[in-house]
Amino acid sequence: MAIQIPRGTQDILPGKVELWQYIEEKVHTICKNYHYKEIRTPMFENTELFKRGVGETTDIVQKEMYTLVQKGKDSLTLRPEGTAPIVRAYVQHKMFGDATQPTKLYYMGPMFRYERPQAGRYRQFSQFGVEALGSKEPSIDAEVIALAVDFYESFGLKKIKVLLNSLGDVESRKSHREALINHFKPHIEEFCSDCQARLEKNPLRILDCKKDRENPLMETAPQTIDYLNEESKEYFEQVKEYLQAMDIEYVFDSNLVRGLDYYNHTVFEIISESEGFGAITTLSGGGRYNGLVQEIGGPETPGIGFGIGIDRLINALEAEKIEIPLETGLDCYVVAMGENANRKAAELLRQARKEGISCDKDYLSRKVKAQFKAADRANAKFVAVLGDDELERNVINVKEMATGNQEEVALAEVVEYLIRLTKQ
């Protein structure tokens, strides 16, 4: 039996890959406009990084990591997310000392989580993320959210919604934590064993437990917003003011706590409200993580960022029936007859390609008719025909497929001719 692709992964074939390339280009463009620089880190890191960064009590660390068994002592893990690796690189390369501050970074690539695959949830998925390190001003929280919103809007997506909450600073989180323990403790035996373990270690994680979602105590649980100290309240107010100033709509969601441990102050998610989107509606998530840089061994540095799932973005485009016009065609297909013409065609192709013209020829010794068919399938803008007769006269017959116009062009000038017509 033929070997199949692993569960929860996908092949992106020609025809679909152009959409990915289009999205990737948009990522580079928007980040350039927002003045974020690309950073590339390895696909795997020391396991300890995610334990410390993402948090021991999170689902990611407890259940979803692809940890590699290797001969030495080090334990390595395929990156389940990008923030901890970026912070690791930031600390390792002492980027906090760079002249340009804050350090505004972006990344894109595959992430790996051992999750139960379903629509919109994969074991290998792709994320575009940004991390802004070194600023604790509320305006950068708003900038990061604006970047995410603008990114979605640049595809024409309309049914997206920003959910916003604040977890507050360390002090606020501490008093919320105590309130949570008091709330859940008397009934903790009704909850799953994971939640029982979370109660003392990290009661916030109980709130995003998938198993106990229906327990009525979840709904009445203390909300972070009620435990914000004055400073945190003020911070949150300012973030909202900046969002308003930038004309970014959001909805306050007191239940939003996020599933990773490093957050404080601002947290947000962007969801799709499109009907056809499916059960998992979250398109992206992010928030502030003052303290994480220190946790990873660097100096006290504030940070904020988000992760956008590219696979889910594509699902959202499909759900909103947005067709992206993609360039899949070829500039020119050379139909060549006979050995000599084929040799000449090979030479022409090389010259044309060097000039940035996309072109192709037959490699299956097909008859002329079949070569025309191949040109058609390749969606060629021009078909250039080269037979013995043309070769003898040092010309080539170029046909523009859209108009049907034909012209005989000198072989020595055909590349120039194609440049002129395709780049106009």
Residues that bind ligand HAM (CB under 6 A): 81-83, 113, 115, 121-122, 125, 127, 129, 131, 259-260, 282-287, 289, 305-307, 309, 311-312
The nearest distance, CB 295 to ligand HAM, in angstroms, is: 14
Minimum gap (Å) between residue 212 Cβ and ligand HAM: 20
Pick 128 or 382: Cβ nearer ligand HAM: 128
Where are the strands (E) in 191-300, listed by range? Answer: 251-252, 264-272, 282-288
Q: Which residue number, 182 or 282, has a Cβ lying nearer to ligand HAM?
A: 282
Q: How far apart are CA 71 and CA 398, in angstroms?
A: 61
Q: Which of 247, 314, 333 is CA-nearest to residue 276?
A: 314
Are the CB atoms for 265 and 229 separated by under 8 Å?
A: no
Nearest distance, CB of residue 80 and ligand HAM, angstroms: 7
State the nearest-atom distance from the C-beta of 120 to ligand HAM, in Å. Answer: 6
Compute the least distance from the CB of residue 83 to ligand HAM, in Å: 4
Question: Is the backbone peptide bond immediately before 80 cis, with ω within 30 degrees of 0?
Answer: no
Which residues have a Cβ under 8 Å from the Cβ of 365 and sit 6 or more positions away?
none
**Separation CA 40–CA 290 (nearest Å):** 22
Closest residue to ligand HAM, based on beta-carbon distance: 309
How far is C-alpha 382 from the chain's CA centre?
36
- The nearest distance, CB 30 to ligand HAM, in angstroms, is 16
CA distance 206 to 213: 9
Taking the least distance from each CB to ligand HAM, the nearer of 242 and 306 is 306
Cross-strand partners of 304: 132, 288
CB 162 within 8 A of CB 250: yes
Q: Which is nearer to ligand HAM, 59 or 362 (CB)?
A: 59
Q: Distance between CA 279 and CA 121 in Å, rounded?
A: 10
Beta-bridge mates of residue 129: 107, 307
Q: What tokens does 32 get?
A: 């350039």
Cis status of the peptide bond prior to 6, with omega within 30 of 0:
no
Residue 54 or 383 having the CB closest to ligand HAM? 54
Q: How far apart are the first and last CA of the chain?
A: 51
Min CB(125)–ligand HAM separation in Å: 3
Tokens of 163: 């959910």
For residues 308 and 415, which CB has a smaller minimum distance to ligand HAM in the complex? 308
| Choice between 261 and 362, CB closer to ligand HAM | 261
CA atoms within 13 A on the CB side of 172: 23
Cβ 76 to ligand HAM shortest distance, Å: 19
- Shortest separation between residue 127's beta carbon and ligand HAM, angstroms: 5
State whether residue 246 is helix, strand or coil: coil
By C-beta, is 167 or 357 nearer to ligand HAM? 167
Between 125 and 191, CB nearer to ligand HAM = 125
